[in-house]
Amino acid sequence: MSKTLILDNGSFSIKAGFVTDEACKEFPNYVMKTKQSKMVYVSDLIDKTTDLSGLYFHSPFENGYIVNWDVQLSIWDRLYEDSALNCTPNDTNLVLTEPIFNPPSIKTNLYELIFEEYEFPSLISLSASEFVAKSNYLDLFQKERSVFPDSMIVVDIASIQNTFNRIDVGGLTLTNFLKHIVSYRSWDIRDDYYIANDIKEKCCFVSQNFNYDLKNFKDQSYNNKYHVNYVLPDFTSSKKGIIKISENSENLKDNEQILSVKNERITVPEILFYPSDIGINQGGIHEAVLESIESCPERIRGLLANNIVVIGGTSHLPGLKDRLEKELRKLFPESFDVGVFIAPRNFSWQAGKSVSLNLTQNTDQNNLTSFLSKSEYQEIGSSRTVEYFK
Amino acid sequence: MSSLPKRKKTNPFKNNGYKATDAEDSDEFPTPPDHTVVYNLLEVEKPFKKAKYKNSKRIKPTRQHIAAEKAKEWPNDFPTFWSIAQAPSLKPNKKYCDITGLHAFYKDPKTNLRYHNAEIYQAIQQLPPSAEQTYLSLRNANVVLR
């Protein structure tokens, strides 16, 4: 049997690995150029340098869609090298995630590259959420909750198509906002996307009661347990910053540069719920969920409200699950149970793996997708391939 | 041995990914161009330009992709990128004071500035004319004359 590669092509990092692997490897989906030495590093090769201040980032993605193909190609070339994945595209089946509502003009480019430039013998390409819905990994949540097994439903995405909602807030929006307010208040980190992203991942959390927490942050004394000290990396001894709780502020060394992160910890993730705070005239994620569920038939709304799965990197902000449940509780009728589940890390990669395993073992009863082989592609061409994956 | 001080190498094209060749690395001065000959600029070798450099036309911003999609005809209830955008929140937006950033309880009907309390209203009244437009432009509410 030939190998199958599962490639979750996220806008921040690529999660890749073979079907036989237990876990996937993560690669940054960026080409980076250093400020001092003017060297160019592709994806994970950035680990070889310590010159990390003021990196220039070239991303293949814009608004979640691949637009810069030259950058994407060089990253994929790096992925298939021996030292990274050791993959030969000629005899490897590819399972690829693509953004939801990918425009056909981008899709045709994508399929051309996969079949003509890399010559993969076969391909499945779906959005990450479709993989999650089609995988049997959703059982995972059932065991967690010990409820009646038939309360879990998998809705065929194709049948209820007009239930999507999009909010123009993502992980990048949050990082950029954090970068702005930190640069205005203390250190100038406008050029350091790398650090700003690290601060966001380590310090930010979703507040359960925003106005109450905001008052707690007002106390400017050293003992305020809400404030954290982020020790900025010096790029010689440390590549990533570390957290020091404010209480131990006497233990801080002199040569360390401290960034005190205060109410940014909660105001940045709050944008997810109130995008209007930064001038995006849209409702928050709780309102998007409500609207999606209300556009479904009435008899399944209660079931859907009980089975909301949140995927993606931003969903790992601490406290998001409880806050989303709390906000949705206010919006839904009393008879509904609200259940929100945060998918574990690399969940869509695992889902892609389970879909491809199902296909090869033919265990999936209602088989909705299948591999598209290269010969079929050559028969129908790239523009009709777009209609194939639907 | 020349008594001239060592010439500091400057490389004006450094930002364009330009790499100095071996010849330029030596400390010799480059030979001055012969001004008596008329050059055809198209044929002259331009060492600062990469021979392999190709301006990639493949980069097309998402905006253009979506605009191209929008031009096509779509069924009414068919979900597309622009039709799935989340509607504005049902709750009214929070309003903040234009001067201090505190919660705005009032709005000055004359200048359209939002303000927190009477103290700030005093300050608004002492503003020089047309200064309120700079405050309004912070939240894109200023009047633009065209």
Give the pLDDT of residue B51.
66
| DSSP string for A36-55 | SS--EEEGGGGGG----TT-
Residue A210 tokens read as 């925003």
Give the pLDDT of residue A280.
82
Domain A3-128+346-388 has CATH 3.30.540.10: no
Question: Across all residues in chain B, what is the average pLDDT?
Answer: 74
Give the pLDDT of residue A152.
38
Residues of B in contact with A281 (CB under 8 A): 88, 93
In chain A, residues 107-166 whose CB comes closer than 8 Å to chain B: 109, 161-162, 164-166
Dist CA A157 CA B79 (whole Å): 12
Facing residues of A31 across strands? Answer: A42, A58
- pTM of the predicted model, to two decimals? 0.78
A171-270 CATH pick, 1.25.60.10, 3.30.70.2740, 3.90.640.10, 3.10.180.10: 3.90.640.10
Please name the amino acid found at residue B138: L
**Is A325 in the B-facing interface, judged by CB distances under 8 Å?**
no
Give the pLDDT of residue A206.
93
B86:A288 CB<8 A: yes
Give the pLDDT of residue A16.
92
Do A3-128+346-388 and A153-167+283-342 fold alike per CATH? yes
B86:A291 CB<8 A: yes
Residues of B in contact with A70 (CB under 8 A): 56, 58-59
Could you say which DSSP state residue A248 is in? Answer: G
Residue A211 tokens read as 């106005």
B61:A283 CB<8 A: no
Tens of pLDDT, residues B85-125: 888 888 888 888 988 888 899 999 988 899 999 999 999 99
Give yes or no for a contact between B115 and B99, defined as CB atoms under 8 angstroms apart: yes
Dist CA B107 CA B134 (whole Å): 16
Give yes or no for a contact between A317 and A204, defined as CB atoms under 8 angstroms apart: yes
Tens of pLDDT, residues B8-21: 444 444 444 444 45
Give the pLDDT of residue B57.
59
Chain centroid to CA A60: how far? Answer: 15
Q: Cα A180–A185–A188 angle (5° rounding)? A: 60
- Chain A with chain B: Cβ pairs closer than 8 A: 80
| A284 vs B69, B89, B94: nearest CB | B89
The CATH architecture annotation of domain A153-167+283-342 reads 2-Layer Sandwich (3.30)
A105:B86 CB<8 A: no
Split chain A (390 residues) into runs of 10 and give each run's mean pLDDT: 84 89 88 86 85 85 85 89 86 87 86 87 84 67 41 42 76 90 88 88 92 87 81 81 68 74 90 86 86 83 82 86 92 89 84 83 60 88 79
Domain limits, chain A: 3-128+346-388, 153-167+283-342, 171-270
The conformational region for residue A372 under phi > 0 = left, psi -120 to 50 = alpha, else beta, is beta
Measure A281 CA to nearest chain B CA, in Å. Answer: 5
Dist CA A31 CA A41 (whole Å): 6
Expressed in percent and rounded to 5, the helix, strand and coil fractions of chain A are 45, 15, 40
Comparing B131 with A238, the larger pLDDT belongs to B131
